Amino acid sequence: MYIDFLLDVFRSHRVADAMVWQDQTFSYAWLLDAVQRWQERLKEEAIAPGSVVSVEADLSPHTVALLLALIEHRSIVVPLTASVETKKPEFRDIAQVEAIIKVDREDQVRMQNTGVVATHALLRQLKQSQRSGLVLFSSGSTGKSKAAIHDFVPLLAKFTVPRHSLRTLVFLLFDHIGGINTLFYVLSNAGCVVTVQDRSPDAVCATIQKYRVQLLPTSPTFLNLLLLSEAYTRYDLSSLEMVTYGTEVMPESTLTRLHRLFPHILLLQTYGLSELGILRSKSKSSDSLLVRVGGEGFETRVVDGLLEVRAQSAMLGYLNAPSPFTADGWFQTGDAVEVEGEYLRILGRKSELINVGGEKVYPAEVESVLQLMDGVEDVAVSAEQNPITGHLVRAMIKLRTAETIGEFRTRMWAFCQDKLPKFKIPQKVMIVTEVMHGERFKKMRTT
């Protein structure tokens, strides 16, 4: 019913590679059989249609088959990966999970009923509609994680339109809207889902080389790590045709260097949110941060410099927060943008804006300049309260040099003089040694 269009694709490409996992290849014929086996097992385990089911696993062949079977079973799916291990009890409570299915790293399965009865109004609404659902938790990088609940049917609608079949490295986790989008894009076009157990630059590059990966969807943070590691010099990446990047603002310096090193690769900015799904996008060019977003099922507008989106695939609401929609259905993204003709330049989150005596500073612009400095491995810029100017610009710097903070500060001021207005140059600098990104390879800023 809900996944018939996918099963038709699988039947038409039985012998094609559907997935690479732990150096094993699985065909679409295998995936078809696995979906059927899971459908039978869900009935045997007495998991009722409409149940809220957490899938606690990382991406694997059985996880994919299970996800498809749960959609067809009209379940409300709550994907939880190892990256949120410590938060799983909290997330289960928020989602009112009624059954837990765990798939371990060897693809072995354990199932249990929780005894919980889901009573949240949005969960009841979805159950009564007799449609499958999806609950996604935000990263919580700017506060408490929010649980967005979707009707799965509108999320799947765009994948009924055939597009390019590509061997794709699924970098983003499947409890992330970007990971879900990538997975269904690849499967609906009979591409090959290539997984990695280790998301270090060397492991990713080795996988691209070994399996002739054509598409890499990832984050700016990972791409910066790739450049710093120079892993791209140690592997054959000639199969790579496209790199898509999203989840956070791309530093212009990183994009410029990527385009210079890989002129043959199409670099495409993507845009999406857990609350809306992923919009279709088109970068003005591979070396431009200007992007056009929208596509069928999406409307966009800019109000007071902030992007708003109205989407057919929008969530029903949050399970643990008030509705963020306007009365006429627009979602206020909180992303500040500049409009240039039909294109947008995404500046950053309104919540991360630094106001220095009335002057606006967005962290990504400052980070982009600081990353050009020799010896800077990573940088995170944020606001610090100041009684005179309101905010001052604070930079946490991870160095590859043995400089003192005083030596670096002197060098930084000299470097930034002709690249940033004085009010954008960090007034406070902290040298750190820890990693400044989370499991989703998204920069973490302390505000």
Q: Where would I find the H helices in 101-170?
A: 121-129, 152-157
Whether 83 is covered by a domain: the verdict is yes
Q: Is the Cα torsion angle 113, 115, 120, 123 positive or negative in sign?
A: positive
| CATH number for the domain harbouring residue 376 | 3.30.300.30
Last residue of a domain, one of 105, 127, 156: 156
Last residue of a domain, one of 156, 185, 205: 156
- At a CB cut-off of 8 Å and minimum separation 6, what does 293 contact? 271, 279, 280, 281, 300, 344
Whether 391 is covered by a domain: the verdict is yes
- The total domain count for the chain is 2
User: What does the alpha-carbon distance between residue 2 and residue 6 come to, in Å, rounded to a whole number?
Assistant: 9
Higher model confidence: residue 378 or residue 107?
A: 378
- Element containing residue 65 per DSSP (H, E): helix 61-72
Give mean pLDDT, residues 384-412: 92
The residue to which tokens 């280790």 are assigned: 198
Query: What would the pLDDT profile of 240-291 be if each residue is shown by its tens digit?
Result: 999 999 989 999 999 999 999 999 999 999 999 999 999 999 999 999 999 9
Q: At what angle do helices 28-44 and 61-72 cross, to 10 degrees?
A: 60
Whether 367 is covered by a domain: the verdict is yes
Give mean pLDDT, residues 92-101: 97
Higher model confidence: residue 6 or residue 104?
A: 6
Last residue of a domain, one of 123, 156, 189: 156
| CATH number for the domain harbouring residue 98 | 3.40.50.12780
Whether 290 is covered by a domain: the verdict is no
Whether 223 is covered by a domain: the verdict is no
The answer to whether residue 446 scores a pLDDT higher than 50 is: yes
Of 182-196, 221-235, 432-446, the one with minimum mean pLDDT is 432-446
- The CA distances from residue 374 to 199, 234, 370, 403, in Å, are 25, 22, 9, 12
Computed over every residue of the chain, the mean pLDDT equals 93
The answer to whether residue 405 scores a pLDDT higher than 50 is: yes
Whether 97 is covered by a domain: the verdict is yes
Question: Does residue 207 come out as left (phi exceeding 0), alpha (psi in the -120 to 50 range) or beta?
Answer: alpha
Pairing of strands 331-340, 390-399: unpaired
Query: What would the pLDDT profile of 12-45 be if each residue is shown by its tens digit?
Result: 999 999 999 999 999 999 999 999 999 999 999 9
The answer to whether residue 105 scores a pLDDT higher than 90 is: no
Whether 226 is covered by a domain: the verdict is no
Confidence (pTM)? 0.89
Query: What would the pLDDT profile of 114-157 be if each residue is shown by its tens digit?
Result: 999 999 999 999 999 999 999 999 876 556 889 999 999 999 99
Give mean pLDDT, residues 167-178: 92
Residue 139: domain span:
4-156
Whether 298 is covered by a domain: the verdict is no
Q: What is the pLDDT of residue 143?
A: 60
